[in-house]
Structure 1
């Protein structure tokens, strides 16, 4: 349907068909009129024989008849030409109109079907086209954009306005550039933007075309894939390291006990030697704990899958952490929307994940604060899910640290092993769920864990769960 614009010349612009049609019809009409005129003259001359002379008044009458014939012929030519021109013009107009409607319909369908957001502005900066994908990406309705200047539609400092300013005013275009975009719903998202010159039929600048694609979820998925690849590569290594260290550590622990007993039997158990032995025993126990975490990370073990009551599990974890929360001057609250579906999983493993997240939240609030544990059911992709969330008002996490929180052995806590969140990530994978962390320095942290809901739903509970210290 879309063809290159034809090169129109003077010769190609001549309506050959129209001229040929008019000449042909004129020739037919003139021939008919001449035949009729000849027959008329023949009838006039039949009344005069050889013995009767022709009247002198007959010749002017014949010439007048010829002039009338010429006038009628010219009149018929003009009428025929005008009629044919009108018919051909109407047919050409109708064909052009139908072709234009088809082209417009095709262009509209293509624009609406493109999975990338498209926005165009003319040379004056007026928005001339917006497709549905652009409305979804920019979180703006087309009625608020079309026909308005982009300076009016987008406030000063907004990402899209700066991009269009650069493209239209300074003719600086970008290709596949990822930019932060704060939409109307106040959610920080990332969009991939490209701009290009919009040209007219003559090659002149007609405006700017902008392409925008929301890649927030895609980047999050890419990050999860990278983390999963790192975890998969480290599983075997961790198992091998833990196995190789377990034997010499056991030998060291055994020989330390034997040495302690021998010193005790010889009466040399006191003094500086006893303190050295105490330190060695403590460090051996710490190494043993680290190796246990290694083994849990490498081989989390078989899951004992059964229906887990998430409300009871959250209450149990909150009760366990209540004393530590009070010591750290942290208010612990529960925000559980009822009813919460059961989850098919391992209650011990899920408790370990939740405990780990809550402990991290408490440690992130050295001066006290609020830690809220939430739970709610949600539907996504045609499935039922249970979402657990732990939100704190702590110091937050920087963007660089946030991209590495699930990496094994990465920690910002003194004395930490960096395996807590890595093990939690592995457990969530084994349950077919997801875990996501969102944070900003000084704004606290939110960790959201989603589990597939079990088929059977629990009965609604009359009163919502509430706990505060």
Structure 2
């Protein structure tokens, strides 16, 4: 496998053969010079005439100047040859490295399970890997160079999304599409896009990643169904428990009323008492059913500008009497810069009322209720803090579960209804609590946007 720092195979540093040749040429020149001098010496000692550099004949080139010039020319030619040879070696090494990199990148793109579609700045398809071919049911060779609007005609929704991303819509998030894979199998594909940049950092096109999430979607749907069934089971158990008690009281009082009426003329006070109990229990049943319906099918919020500070003050006025009766002091810290937010005034009133009543019920012997508002970027944050006993760590994950309550007389729908209202406003509600340190509810709601009617989702 190729690594950036790996030595290039077949590469020989140019100075090595050049130095070897220069040393060999020098040794050869020295040997020839020594041989020539030795020959001249033999001629002198034997009395024969010694050839001079200017004499004619084959020995003319044996003079020192001619000899040095000849070998210098030979050395230059050899150096040029070695340079060319080294350049060829380098070119071959670079070419081999480039081919290995191309092969590596091709193998990576073909090995990953994610489809990769690339477009140039003009929206023409430049490449599509194997997984992308299978997900789109297309051949890269058939769509390469074609505009994406033509290449992806079989997936118009994906085409429109890709064109939006290519046009520079940076608000685009991951999006899921239903496509027909090779073999006519329907698959769910999650697409994401990012800029394709050149060496200088300039946008040169678009990279679209396509992930097959068919199995993930199936498991998520199965999990949602399981959660729904579990929630229905919890709701059914809670409703059965809550309805059973008033039904028992109704039956008992009807039995007593029947016993009172059987012997003779009934006592007015006794009959009146029994009827009061029956009426009270019927009202209790009505409240249980109403809360159940409110939780199971919340109404669609009517989004309008709401004065959040005035709304919080009004809800505090509703709980002030109960707080004073339990010796609870109310402390407020409202942000004057946080005025109007988009929301359903009636539902938000119910939200804050449920949370504040829950806080008051946590302090039956008195304490302090703190309510604060502040703006946090694009969010309006409302915190409701009590100085009650706090919530145990193992109980915290269940505070928003329907019909979950730690109070003997509690119904367990106040906080779940509050949670539903917050979800309907695209907000969040969190709980922070420690035993002995009280509890803080943190409600975050979008603070921007214009009034509109929210559609059913």
Please give the TM-score of this superposition, normalised by the length of structure 1: 0.48
Please give the TM-score of this superposition, normalised by the length of structure 2: 0.49
